[in-house]
């Protein structure tokens, strides 16, 4: 089977508490971006001596093979049900360390697909619990619809937000932001806006009322990321913000700008 793990953006992100377990409690709205995807192929490999063969092309994924979330998804799920030998190929297109959740999407989509191949597929709730072991964003990609999230991001409620009338421009300066370091330098505080009520706020007001706490940490370290946000507003964005811990910045446009004036070494996606 061939799947297309998609990116996400965060519509607001507040870091509200530093937990005793080393994680942080957040409040955010995850919004899927179906026009930007990786490509994931998973096929049974009955004749293979290896239970799992993993290959990857496209953007280079740093780190050892065992740390790839697709590989972790296989071994985690195998603890709960019997899986066939499989071949997994990932073609990476979503920038890494970019706040777009690409790795989490790959792991979650692999988990869902492998569950379909399992001798005794596990239930949806248990799949969400396993996804959380992969990463804090992974349960969102199991649902993959606009979601208000709290806790580590795993406590989820559906939210009615529709951006289909807007063009989403994603700009990534190819700077890898370390999420753990960004969290460690943050200062938790109560959320400035109740994001569960986001759908009741006019998008025209989001510029003044909806923010991402990571910008306070990342912008001073990487002024070029803040400059992207400024440029998107200059180009006519109704709302612009950094996604996740960065480094991608997105802008919502009622009309797609004819020119997005960023150098060639920037990744720019218009959807």
Which of the following is catalytic: 8, 92, 112, 229?
8
Phi and psi at 55, nearest 5°, equal: -130, 160
C-alpha 271: how far from chain center: 16
Beta pairing class for 52-58 and 86-92: parallel
Q: Evaluate whether 210 touches 128 at the Cβ level (below 8 Å).
A: no
Which of the following is catalytic: 38, 106, 137, 213?
137
78 is known as an active-site residue: no
Q: Evaluate whether 106 touches 53 at the Cβ level (below 8 Å).
A: no
Q: Evaluate whether 240 touches 211 at the Cβ level (below 8 Å).
A: no
DSSP 10-60: EEEEEEEEE-TTS-EEEEEEEEEEEEEE-EEEEEE-TT-SSSEEEEEEESP
204 is known as an active-site residue: no
Q: Give me the active site residues, please.
A: 8, 137
């Amino acid at each position: 089977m061939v799947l297309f793990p998609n990116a996400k953006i965060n519509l607001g992100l507040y870091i509200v508490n530093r937990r005793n377990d080393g994680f942080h409690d957040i409040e955010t709205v995850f919004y899927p971006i179906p026009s930007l995807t990786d490509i994931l192929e998973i096929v049974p490999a009955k004749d293979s001596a290896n239970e799992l063969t993993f290959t990857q092309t496209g953007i280079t994924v740093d780190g050892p093979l065992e740390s790839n979330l697709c590989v972790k998804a296989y071994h985690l799920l195998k603890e709960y049900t019997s899986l066939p030998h499989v071949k997994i190929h990932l073609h990476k297109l979503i920038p890494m360390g970019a706040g777009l959740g690409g790795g989490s999407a790959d792991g979650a989509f692999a988990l869902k697909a492998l569950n379909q191949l399992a001798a005794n597929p596990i239930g949806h709730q248990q799949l969400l619990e396993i996804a959380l072991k992969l990463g804090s964003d992974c349960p969102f990609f199991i649902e993959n619809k606009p979601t208000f999230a709290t806790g580590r991001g795993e406590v989820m409620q559906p939210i009615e937000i529709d951006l289909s009338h807007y063009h989403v421009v994603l700009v990534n300066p190819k700077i890898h932001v370390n999420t753990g370091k960004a969290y460690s330098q943050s200062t938790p505080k109560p959320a400035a806006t109740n994001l569960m009520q986001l759908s009741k706020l006019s998008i025209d007001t989001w510029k003044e009322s909806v923010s991402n706490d990571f910008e306070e940490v990342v912008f001073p370290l990487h002024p070029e990321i803040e400059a992207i946000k400024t440029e998107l507003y200059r180009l006519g964005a109704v709302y612009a913000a950094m996604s996740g811990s960065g480094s991608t910045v997105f802008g919502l446009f009622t009309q797609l700008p004819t020119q997005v004036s960023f150098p060639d070494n920037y990744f720019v996606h218009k959807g």
